[in-house]
Structure 1
Amino acid sequence: MSPLFRSTADLFAELNRMQSMLDRVFPSPGSSIRSQAGAGFPVLNVGSSPTSIEVQALAPGVDPAKLEITVDRGLLVIAGERRSELPPGDERASVYANERFAGPFRRVVSLPEDADPARVEASYRDGVLRVSVAKRESSLPRRIEVN
């Protein structure tokens, strides 16, 4: 066995790390700016109500003070970093599985034309980031009084 790897577990951990890096550089085909099913962190749920566009980002372990949310040219950008919860590098310790994402992230959601970038609210609770983008008043249905 190569002196680089002390055990089979180390070899598989290194192969998993390289696979994760390749997946980030070469995303799976068929992904779009609207959705990258299973390909990103945080996982997003995007929907709408009659008065707003609702985005939920499932982001446990993220410090809300370090989240950056911007709206520009019809794109909602959620960026931040999730710190690793693994113990610092101990030469005698080895990790058998590391399935939780750690590191910087950035997700982009294309907003519809009726989104109002001046009216955005965000909250973070129990590991879920909720972003609500109001729809423009001019796009909302309204009742016309007949005189």
Structure 2
Amino acid sequence: MTLVKFANGQKNNGLNPLFTDVFDSILNDTFSGSRLVSKVPAVNIAETENEFHIELAVPGLAKEDFKINVDKNILSVSAEKKIENAATDKKYSKKEFSYNSFSRTFTLPETVDQTKIEAEYTDGILKLSVAKKEEAKIQAREIAVK
């Protein structure tokens, strides 16, 4: 489905309507677009019988850019990528590749084993596995009827 903008009776001051639509789009994207939205990665959290799985969508970073810390029951994931201003002959009309840094914190439940947290970064996804304590794992048993 294609959406088409119409002037709905507004004057265009003799300018080509295509030109005004493009100009409006550039201004709207620049001033009210993603700059106002906080730049933190999207997160998926899942729970299995033995552990929690936390996945963060962080494309364009290297595994050396991440810092993962645990302090009491707070798991902190942060990253910082240094952008070097190299001389280039390109003149950008719009540049959105500036993902400098982020920080996300998660409150861990009392049932996790903080000594068994593993992290893996592949294909732009940071995967954290947080193991549960042995006594917190669901133990199946049959209950006899008296």
TM-score tier, shorter chain, comes to 0.5 to 0.7
| Alignment partner of 1:57 is 2:50 | no
TM-score by length of 1: 0.64
Corresponding residue of 2:104 = 107
Corresponding residue of 2:12 = none
> SS at the partner of 2:109?
coil
Number of aligned positions between the proteins: 119
CA shift at 1:42, angstroms? Answer: 1.8
TM-score by length of 2: 0.64
CA shift at 1:67, angstroms? Answer: 0.6
Cα distance 1:16–1:81, how it changes in 2: closer, same or farther (>3 A)? farther
Residues 81-136 of structure 1 deviation map (CA, whole Å, 9 limit, x = unaligned):
24569x857698233362x5511110111222211111101111111110000001
CA shift at 1:60, angstroms? Answer: 0.8
Instruction: Return 5+ residue gaps in structure 2 as ranges.
Output: 1-22
Please point out which of 127, 131, 135 is paired with 1:130: 127
Corresponding residue of 1:81 = 80
Letter in 2 for 1:64: K
Distance 1:108 1:54 in 2: 15
Please point out which of 2, 22, 31 is paired with 1:15: 31
- Does the CA-based 8 Å contact 1:61-1:83 persist in structure 2? no
Structure with more contact order per residue of length (Cα contacts < 8 Å, sep ≥ 6): 1
Instruction: Return 5+ residue gaps in structure 1 as ranges.
Output: 1-7, 25-39
Letter in 2 for 1:77: S
- Does the CA-based 8 Å contact 1:62-1:83 persist in structure 2? no
Identity of aligned residues (%): 25
Distance 2:101 2:108 in 1: 23
Structure whose alpha-carbon radius of gyration is higher = 2
Corresponding residue of 1:71 = 70
Corresponding residue of 2:11 = none
Cα distance 1:94–1:16, how it changes in 2: closer, same or farther (>3 A)? farther
